[in-house]
Structure 1
Amino acid sequence: MTLLITAKDVQSVLTYPLSLKTVEAAFKAFGRHKACQPPKSYLTFKFGDLRSMPAYINDRGMNVAGIKSVTVHPDNHKKYGLPTVMATILLTDPKNGINIAVLDGTHITNMRTGAAGGVATKYLSRKNSKVMALIGAGAQAYTQLHHIMLTRKLKEVRVHARSEKSMIKFCREMSKEYPKVTFLPEPDGKKACRGADIITTTTPARKPIIKKSWIGPGTHINGIGADAAGKQELETTLTKSCKIVLDEWQQASHSGEINVPISRGKLKKKDIHAELGEIVVGKKKGRTADDEITLFDSTGLAVQDISTAYVVYHTLMKKQKKPKHIKLF
């Protein structure tokens, strides 16, 4: 029998601290070669795409495999009132091949992506970082902020987005959750980035929206939005000036922030400093100087999804929650 775990079930147990802890553990497993995954595959449609993301993790109390099916349709909210990203995750017991659970993966996807930004910020930004620029004010901006707030004591967050309404809404809502932090809607992207210690980009841009001249020494950038071929949020000259850390080379080279510079011969594998898992386990160093500009290129790894889904499943069982059982043929 297979457990059916709904979005409500997931949200009842997956807190921001648990999400951050789980994703950091996933990067550790990946850095120790205790987790494996092929690069995500894509089916491309006129208005979006479907991605298949399998992974297997066998490390420190976690022996689980699974696959996530996720769709990304940027115009969904405007056209249908639906999320841009929607996902389902199937968990499998590697010992016998039984499918132990089917989970709503939309909330897991949002949370683990935010947690990846939080982990990268922990290892790559200056510890005394106080000012962050959020470029984009959609669903992912929220989870990025919540996870980064667990790793750095921010005093000011500047929010830049195409929609003035979404900027104001984000700042109003987050001001209530973090009353000691100043939230500023900023229509000018240059002003948002100038002097920021951390910059997190969460847009679907296909042409660079962040310029090298806007970025000062010591800045850490989380490049979250570029997750498919042709997407690019940063000027190539900016990317080349950074200490570049990827979540995973194969995936990032064809669908991450570096994919366009790589495809045009402007960037090569030798220009990449490390994968984040290598830094988390201590194989390579992260930030080594206060004036370095660091970049985390996040494409989203299946090991993050499967480990988070397993922790949700395990937590529900431990709490004796009762998700529905279904039969899969």
Structure 2
Amino acid sequence: MSAVTPCRAGPDIAPTSDLPTDLAGAPVPLVLSRSDLTGLVTPGEVVDLVEQAFADLADRVAAQAPLTVAALDPAAHFLPMTAVSGRAGLAGSKLLADVPGNRDRGLPAQRSVLVLVDSVTGAPVAVLDGAVPTRLRTAAASAVATRWLAHEDARVLGLVGAGALALEHVRALAEVRPLERVLVWSRTAERVAAFAALVAEHRPDLTVEAVGSPEAAVRPADIVCTLTPARDPLVQGAWFTPGLHVNVVGAPPRPDHREVDGAAMARSRVVVDSVATALHESGDALLAIAEGAIDTDACRLELGDVVTGRETGRRAPDEVTLFDSVGLGLLDVALGAVLVERARATGRGVAVDLAA
């Protein structure tokens, strides 16, 4: 597979003349709700867009700020995920609130809001609810890793977790591999049933099988995605078969949370979204290092270097590959640019002149 070539997720769409502008003639910032953002892009478009963002980061035409955490105690962590994209002409920051106790309140454990500004003037461009872009770009990152690391004929997908990320992962991975079966495990049977119904609606060509344990989702699979907010490992490296590709996605960016054990990291060729982020906030990496299962050098291969051809992806048919995904603000900025562009073109959102 050759290195990625520059692309856009859709045609250039110029703002129409009837859109509100400020005194300088620039479009007034948009506030976009979750419903405003739904349906503006296809999974395939997001995969290509995210792949280009990884390449831009490796080519240094985009920049990613180090991930930092503001917290008074473990009950609530606040992470500003900041980046600038020369391609999009935007800088942005997504404030991620990680509040595990929200589950007891009947609220999402993670909530976020994305702010975009012009990268030249700093003028505000948009404020977006973070849920839709986060789900889309997270699944697309797994699909990009799968495109470059999994076997070309991988057909069986194992999912450990059936929550909000599960459907998006099926839709995104089906863009890059000829999936036929999905094996899914969750602690909650109702969640599995709801997931299966959604897959039947969006991808009726796929067979969904509920399995009784994480091991049963992993051993027969060609591709595995872990999509849980686990603190202790749910997946063991002892279950990995030769040639497997694993996307480790679900654990929050906390150094004491992980989904896979040290043996899983040790048995795999590890690829990360960002070395700095992985060695600061990935419990899957940091706990494996602390146990002596791997060292820091095992976590120094970035996906962007694989996408651009600087590094080789899969090196042998029986190699086990693992993508450790913590999440990059750059992906939110790149996707946010297209979402705002299409929202303006279709009349979605509320224009608010913040300088009025």
What TM bracket, shorter-length normalisation?
over 0.9
Alignment of 1:141-152 (within 5 A): 141-152=166-177
- Structure 2 partner of 1:5: 32
Name the aligned partner's letter for residue 247 of structure 2.
N
Q: Which structure has the bigger radius of gyration?
A: 2
TM-score by length of 2: 0.86
Asked if 1 retains the 8 angstrom alpha-carbon contact of 2:265 and 2:293, the reply is no
Gaps of 5+ in 1: none
| Cα separation, partners in 2 of 1:323 and 1:168, compared to 1, 3 Å | closer
Indicate yes or no: 2:124 matched with 1:96. no
**Which residue of 1 is the match for residue 84 of structure 2?**
56
How far apart are 1:266 and its partner, in Å? 3.8
The 1:238/1:250 distance shift into structure 2, 3 A limit, reads same
What TM-score, normalized by structure 1, do the two folds share?
Answer: 0.93
Q: 2:43 aligns with which of 6, 10, 16?
A: 16
Sequence identity of aligned pairs in percent?
30
- Give the Cα–Cα distance (whole angstroms) in 2 for the partners of residues 239 and 67 of structure 1: 30
- 1:97-147 CA-to-partner distances (Å, cap 9, x unmatched) read 111111112111111111111111111110100111100111011211111
Map of 1:122 onto structure 2: 147
Identify the residue that residue 277 of structure 1 maps to in structure 2: 304
8 Å CA contact retained: 1:243, 1:295: yes
* One of 268, 277, 281 as aligned partner of 1:251: 277
Is 1:39 the counterpart of 2:66? The answer is: yes
CA displacement at 1:12 relative to structure 2 = 3.7
Taking the aligned partners of 2:158 and 2:109, their CA distance within structure 1 comes to: 22
Is the 1:22–1:311 Cα contact (8 Å) retained in structure 2?
Answer: no
Contact 1:128 1:152 survives alignment (8 Å): yes
Matched residue count: 325
Q: Distance in 2 between matches of 1:159 and 1:206?
A: 20
| Post-superposition offset of 1:208 | 1.4
Q: 2:348 & 2:179 partners in 1: Cα distance?
A: 39
Q: 1:174 aligns with which of 199, 209, 224?
A: 199
CA distance in 2, matches of 1:99, 1:255: 29
Q: Which residue in 1 is equivalent to 2:13?
A: none
TM-superposition CA deviations, 1:279-324 (whole Å, max 9, x none): 111111101211000000000000001111111112223x252532
CA change 1:267–1:275 in 2 (3 A) is same
* Match runs of 1:1-329 below 5 Å: 1-44=28-71, 45-59=73-87, 62-76=88-102, 78-226=103-251, 227-256=253-282, 257-272=284-299, 274-317=301-344, 319-328=345-354
Q: How far is the alpha carbon of 1:178 from its aligned partner? A: 2.3
| Aligned counterparts of 2:346 and 2:196: Cα–Cα separation in 1 | 38
Retained in 2: the 8 A contact 1:253–1:262?
no
Aligned residues of 2:57 and 2:64 also touching (Cα < 8 A): no
Question: Take 2:76 and 2:159, find their aligned partners in 1: how far apart are those partners?
Answer: 24
Displacement of 1:73 after TM fit? 2.8
